[in-house]
Amino acid sequence: MTDRSYEDGKLVIRRHYKAEREDVWDAITTPERLVRWFLPISGDLRPGGRYQLEGNAGGEVVRCERPSEIGLTWEMGGGVTEVVVRLEPDGDSTVLTLSHSPVPGELVPNASPTMWGLGAGWEMGLHALEDFLAGDLPEGAAKDWIATASQEDLMAAGVRAQQISDAWTEVLS
């Protein structure tokens, strides 16, 4: 289940994962695991270091408090925003809270069926994290298995992204 909120330019997503906090932490911070469900990452992944997600944002690692919080700048298209991911244990599960700010409201829902907004972009990644933690993703890097996905799988992803965008449109109204 996903909880969504948007207030004063801050997009917040909360999701529960059926995995221990250390496992979720490693999946979001270890380059060899991150590439399986998100994007290849390079750089100095320590506080004060700079990172780059292949074909996407880069920035600075601002703080890293294993296994509970990572904060970084999100630099893309000449703009700089902040992303914070917090992990809280919940029995044998983990609650992940992602906040991204400041984000103009018009960037949250999809601009078109082929241009996802930040809401769908983040949530599609967090869905992939859930599938990865459950062992339900194909082998290899996410960018490779997405590139070879069937037309049916791509259409299903587009439908899911639109449903997420519609949910964000309701949050914003």
Is the pLDDT score of 115 beyond 90?
A: no
Listed residue (18, 14, 34) closest to 26, CA to CA? 34
Check if the beta carbon of residue 26 is closer than 8 Å to that of residue 34.
no
Q: Which domain does 102 fall in, by range?
A: 2-172
What pLDDT was estimated at residue 112?
Answer: 83
Reported as a single tens digit per residue, the pLDDT across 130-164 is 999 999 999 999 999 999 999 999 999 999 999 99
What pLDDT was estimated at residue 105?
Answer: 94
Alpha helix (H) residue ranges in 77-117: none
Cα(99)–Cα(14) distance, rounded to whole angstroms?
9
What pLDDT was estimated at residue 113?
Answer: 79
Largest CA distance in the chain: 42
Reported as a single tens digit per residue, the pLDDT across 24-78 is 999 999 999 999 999 999 999 999 999 999 999 999 999 999 999 999 999 999 9
CATH number at residue 156: 3.30.530.20
What pLDDT was estimated at residue 50?
Answer: 98
What pLDDT was estimated at residue 38?
Answer: 96
What pLDDT was estimated at residue 132?
Answer: 97
Percentage of residues in the chain with pLDDT exceeding 90? 96
Q: Each residue of 106-122: b (16+ CB within 10 Å) or e?
A: eebbbeeeeebbbbbbb
Q: Domain tally for the chain?
A: 1
